[in-house]
Structure formats: C-alpha cells, structure tokens
Amino acid sequence: MDILSAWLSVAGVLTSSYMTASVVVAILLITLGIGLWFKLQLRPVMRDLRQASRLVEGVPEDEAAFAAEFHSIKEKLSDNRTLGHAWREFGEVLIYDAWSGDSGIRNAQSPGDYFYLGSVTSNRINLRFFNTFPNILTGLGILGTFVGLAAGISLASHGLGSDDPVKMQAALQQLLSGASLAFFTSIAGMVCSIVLNLYEKGRIHRLDGAVQRFVDALDARLKRVTVESLANDQLEESKEQTQALKVFSNDLAFQIADALSEKFSANLGPTLEKLVDAVEGMRDQRKDDTTEMLERMLKEFQTSLSGAAGQELSSLGHTLELLNEKLTSQISTIGSQQATLQSQHEQSLDNLRSTLATSRESFNTEVGRALKTLSDTLGTSVEEVARELRSAGEDAGTRLTEMTTRLSETVEQINTTIQSSAEAAEQHRQISEHNRETLDSMRAAGEHFGQLAEPVARSASAIEESASAIKDTATSFISVHDGIHESVSRIEAIQTQLGEAWSRYEQRFESVDESLASVFEELHDGLSQYTSSLNGYVKDLDKHTSSITSDLAGAVGELNEMLEGLEETLSSERVA
C-alpha cells in the first residue's frame, strides 16, 4: 500500500501542467546545450583546417614551387593540433628525389588515405556521441509518452469504475493530463531530434568539405607515383639502355678494328723504315771502307817503291808487273765481291720487303679467301638446299598433278561407262517389257485363233505352221529376254567391280598422301640436320679463323722482336 500510494502521489505530480511544461523545456534546453557544445568543439577543428588550406593554397600550383616551400609548410602542419599526426604519417610516404633532377615531391599514396573525417576528428570530437544524441532525444520523447500514459491510467483507474459522475470526470481529467504529458514530451523529443540531426549533418558536411579542400590542394601540388608509372618508366629506361648498348657495341667493334690497324701500321712501318736505312747505311759504310783500304795500300806501296834502290827497281820490274796483275785481279775480285755484296744486300732488302708485303697480302688474301669461301659455301649450301627443296616440291607437285589428272580421267571414264551401262540396261529393260507385251498379245491371239478353230479348219495346216513359227518366235524372244537379263546381271557385276576398283584407288591415293607427307617430313628433318651441321661448320670455321688470327698476331709479335733485336745489333755495330 505504501508503494502504491507513493506512486499515485508521483503520478499526480507528473500529470500536472507544470511538470509537462518543465519536461518540454528541459528537452529543449538539453538540445540547445548539445548543439552549442558541438559547435564549440567543431570551431577549432574548422579553424585548423582553414589555416592549413590557406597555407598550402598560398603556394602556386607548381611542383617545383611547392618543393621549395615544403620544409616550412611541413613544420607548420606538424604543429597543427588537428592535422599534425595525420601529416606526420603522410610525410613517411613522400619521396624526396633530389639527385635524379626531379624538382617535385612525389607521393606514393593519395592524401585522401590519410586526411579524412575520422583522422581529423578522432582526437578532437566524439562524433559517435553527437551522431547518437538525436536518437537519445527520440527515446526520451517515447519514454515520456509511456510514463505519462502509465501515470494517467493509474490515477484514472479508481475513478472510472465509480458511479459518481464527479469522480468519473476527475478521473478523465487525470487521464487527459497524463496523455498530454505523453504527447507533448514525444513531440518535443522528436522535433528536437530532427533539428539537432539536421544541424549536426550540416556541420559535418562543412567539415568534410574543408577536409576535401585541403586534400585537393595537396593533390594539385604533389606528383603521384604509382606502380604502373614506375613499371612504365623502367620499361622506357630499359629500352634506352638497350639502344645505347647496341650503339656502343657497334662503335666498339669499329674502334677496335681501327685501333688494331693503326697500331699495326704505327709499330711495323717505322721498324721497317729503320731496317732499310740500317741496311743501306751498312752498304755505304762497307763501300767506303773498301775504297779507303785500297787507296791506303797503293800509297804505302808507292812510298816503299820511291825509297828503294835503283837496282832493285829493275829486278823488281817483273815482280811489279806480276804484282800489278795480281792487284788488278784482286781489285776486280774485290769490286765483283763488293757488287755481289751490294746486290745481296739489295736482294735481302727486297726479299724482306717482298716477304712483309707477301705476308700482309697473304694475310689479307687468306682472310678474304676464308670469308669468301665461307660466304660461297653458305650461299652454295643455301642454293643447293633451296634447289633441292624446289626440285622436290616441283617433282612432288608434278607427280601429284599427273596422278590427279590420271585419276580424274579414270573417274570420268568410269562415270561414262556407268552412264552408258545404265542407259543400255534401261534400253534392255524397255525391250524386255516390249517383248513381254508382244508375247502376251501373241498368246491372246493364239487363244482367239483356238476359239476360231472351227471356222478356219480349212487353213489348219497354215495356222499350225504359223503357230509353230509363232512358238519359235516366242521361244527366241524368251531366249533373248534371258540373254538381256544375263547382260543386266553382268553390267551390275561390272558396276560392283568398278566400285571395288574405285575403293582400291581411293585407298591407294590415301597411302600416297601419307607417303608424301612422310617424305616431306623426312626432307624437313634432313634440312634441319643439314642446318645444324652447317652451323657447326661455321662455328668450327670461326674457331679456326680466330686461331689463325692469334697465330698471325704471335708471328707479327715475333717479327717485331726480331726487328728490335736487329735494330739493337745494327746500333751496336754503328757504335763499335
């Protein structure tokens, strides 16, 4: 009873007009307070976003200009309370590629992945609470509805069952008061929920627009780098490197050839010139030494003669003559030896020149001959292979054409024979039918003549003769019919034989096609083997050419060493 009386007293207070007005005013004040609180919390966030957007938009939409101002912008955005954490996270994916010559700053991910509504408001505003509060207001209105109805029904339940009209009127008044509390609180809660929801959604939309403005400003001043763009750049770089390597390889080959030619000419040419000069100098020196020796001997002999006695001159006359003859012969011998030595030196020099020229010409000739032989061999091989393939193809085509022509002629003959046989059979069938009709008519005539036997008794003998003749004719017709039937059977047998022959021809030509296919496969295999052997021969020839070149290089090196040794020997002889 105490609880019921307490509830009735509380219900009386709740259903009063003062309590209804108080509840409605309380709902309105709560809604207004939540809206002001949301605005106050949203204001610094909007202020930070506007400052960040103005900071970025203050730089022209140019990648180089933004890169120049990036460090100052980075410091200011790092100190921003709203965007600081998200900016530091976004800075980790930025690429500063100063060494590549690219003045812009590249980003591997979109700014929208780091700057969005959740990242901006996560540490400043509890959006979950503000999104849920309109539903709380709706719930308060519904709760007031049920509380008012429960209080009004509780107060009116005792009076509605009374027979006193005054008590019934008072109970109805209490019930209406509870209903008014219920509906007014529901109206207030729903209206406040709708208003607060619209206000909150509008503010969130403005906040989202401010975030998107900041993201667009960053996108306009950063260079986006994706996996596809990196792959495309790598492909372009690979193409350029490949082209550069091709050019480098071609230039390097020509440069090596020119360098070898210049080195060979520069080293061997001066050495040969020095050798020629040394040989000519030795020849001139030998000639001068021989002439000086003869002149000195003559002068000494004249001096010895001028200092001798007169008698000795007479006694020595014959001796002088002999000596003169011997000296003359010796002088001629020395002159001939000198000429021989000079000719030998000249011949040696010419032989050396001709040997070097022959070596060079033989080297060039051998290399040219080898290359020419290689090209001729390759050309001949290719021509032979092409000729063999062409001849094989022509022979196969000619054979196939001839066989096809013969087969077509045979088929035409078979078709003609079959058609003529069919026509003959048809004619024989028509003749047989005509003979049968004639025989039937003759039999009918015989029967008619039998009926007229009495009137023609006088001509019985003639009729008998005619009957016998007709019988013979019928017999002959029957034999002819049997012969025609046998002819038709023979024609059918011939047609069967022709069909079998056609089947045999078909099988034969199918085997011919298979054999031709196997022949072409063998030709292809043989050509492949010949190509592989030709490639092996070319490789062996390249190896042999390289070995010849290396041997020739060794011989040239030994010749250079011999020339240097000869030059040193000549130099030592000159010094001596």
DSSP secondary structure, 362-406, as one string? HHHHHHHHHHHHHHHHHHHHHHHHHHHHHHHHHHHHHHHHHHHHH
| Rounded (10°) angle between helices 317-451 and 227-306 | 150
**Does 22 reside within a domain?**
yes
Instruction: Cite the DSSP H helix spans in 109-226.
Output: 117-121, 127-160, 165-221
Whole-number pLDDT of residue 151: 72
Whole-number pLDDT of residue 336: 66
Whole-number pLDDT of residue 146: 80
Last residue of a domain, one of 190, 225, 260: 225
Q: What is the per-residue burial (b if ≥16 Cβ within 10 Å, else e) of 465-477?
A: eebeebeeebeeb
Determine how many CB atoms are found less than 10 A away from the CB of residue 389: 14
| Integer CA distances (angstroms), 479 to 440, 443, 473, 476, 493, in order | 16, 17, 10, 5, 21
Tell me if 49 sits within 8 A of 210, measured CB to CB.
yes
User: Token pair of 160, please?
Assistant: 């509605």
Distinct helix (H) and strand (E) counts, the chain: 12, 3
Last residue of a domain, one of 171, 194, 225: 225
Instruction: Based on the fold, state whether residues 250 and 326 are members of the same structural domain.
Output: yes
Last residue of a domain, one of 225, 250, 279: 225
Instruction: Based on the fold, state whether residues 19 and 143 are members of the same structural domain.
Output: yes
Instruction: Based on the fold, state whether residues 269 and 203 are members of the same structural domain.
Output: no
Compute CA 138 distance to the chain's CA centroid, rounded to the nearest angstrom. Answer: 66
| Integer CA distances (angstroms), 491 to 233, 395, 416, 488, in order | 84, 39, 13, 5
Q: Return the ∠ at Cα 483 (arms to 478 and 487), rounded to 5°.
A: 145
Distance CA 447, CA 444 (A): 5
Tell me: the pLDDT tens digits for 312-341? Answer: 445 545 555 665 565 566 556 655 655 665
Number of structural domains (the chain) is 2
Residue 224: beta bridge partners?
A: 107
**Does 552 reside within a domain?**
no
Tell me if 23 sits within 8 A of 144, measured CB to CB.
yes
Tell me: the pLDDT tens digits for 42-65? Answer: 999 999 899 998 998 888 887 788
What is the maximal distance between C-alpha atoms in the chain? Answer: 214
Those residues whose C-beta lies under 8 Å from the C-beta of residue 404, and which sit 6 or more positions away, are none
Instruction: Based on the fold, state whether residues 262 and 179 are members of the same structural domain.
Output: no
Distance CA 487, CA 495 (A): 12
Distance CA 360, CA 363 (A): 5
Burial of 103 (0-12, 13-18, 19+ CB in 10 A): middle
Q: Within the chain, which residues score under 50 in pLDDT?
A: 98-101, 305, 308-310, 312-313, 316, 345, 363, 367, 370-371, 374, 378, 381-382, 385-386, 389, 392, 396, 411, 445, 449, 452-453, 455-456, 459-460
Instruction: Based on the fold, state whether residues 121 and 189 are members of the same structural domain.
Output: yes
Tell me if 13 sits within 8 A of 173, measured CB to CB.
no
**Does 515 reside within a domain?**
no
Instruction: Based on the fold, state whether residues 256 and 158 are members of the same structural domain.
Output: no
Instruction: Based on the fold, state whether residues 208 and 324 are members of the same structural domain.
Output: no
558 residue type, one letter: E
| Integer CA distances (angstroms), 310 to 91, 314, 318, 325, in order | 130, 7, 14, 22
Tell me: the pLDDT tens digits for 144-179? Answer: 778 777 776 776 666 565 566 666 666 667 666 667
Instruction: Based on the fold, state whether residues 212 and 262 are members of the same structural domain.
Output: no
Residue range of the domain that includes 96: 2-225
**Does 557 reside within a domain?**
no
Q: Residue 559: left (phi > 0), alpha (psi -120 to 50), or beta? A: alpha
140 residue type, one letter: L
Instruction: Based on the fold, state whether residues 54 and 142 are members of the same structural domain.
Output: yes
Length of the chain: 576
**Does 274 reside within a domain?**
yes
Q: Return the ∠ at Cα 27 (arms to 25 and 31), rounded to 5°.
A: 115
**Does 84 reside within a domain?**
yes
Whole-number pLDDT of residue 93: 81
Residue 96 φ then ψ, to 5°: -100, 95
**Does 114 reside within a domain?**
yes
Instruction: Cite the DSSP H helix spans in 79-126.
Output: 84-91, 117-121
Q: Looking at residue 113, what DSSP letter applies? A: G
Pairing of strands 106-107, 223-224: parallel
| Rounded (10°) angle between helices 70-78 and 84-91 | 140
What Rg, from alpha-carbon coordinates, does the chain have?
67
**Does 120 reside within a domain?**
yes
DSSP secondary structure, 500-559, as one string? HHHHHHHHHHHHHHHHHHHHHHHHHHHHHHHHHHHHHHHHHHHHHHHHHHHHHHHHHHHH
Q: What is the per-residue burial (b if ≥16 Cβ within 10 Å, else e) of 201-223?
A: eebbeebeebbbbbbebbeebbb
Instruction: Based on the fold, state whether residues 180 and 281 are members of the same structural domain.
Output: no
Tell me if 470 sits within 8 A of 448, measured CB to CB.
no
Instruction: Based on the fold, state whether residues 24 and 75 are members of the same structural domain.
Output: yes
Instruction: Based on the fold, state whether residues 172 and 280 are members of the same structural domain.
Output: no
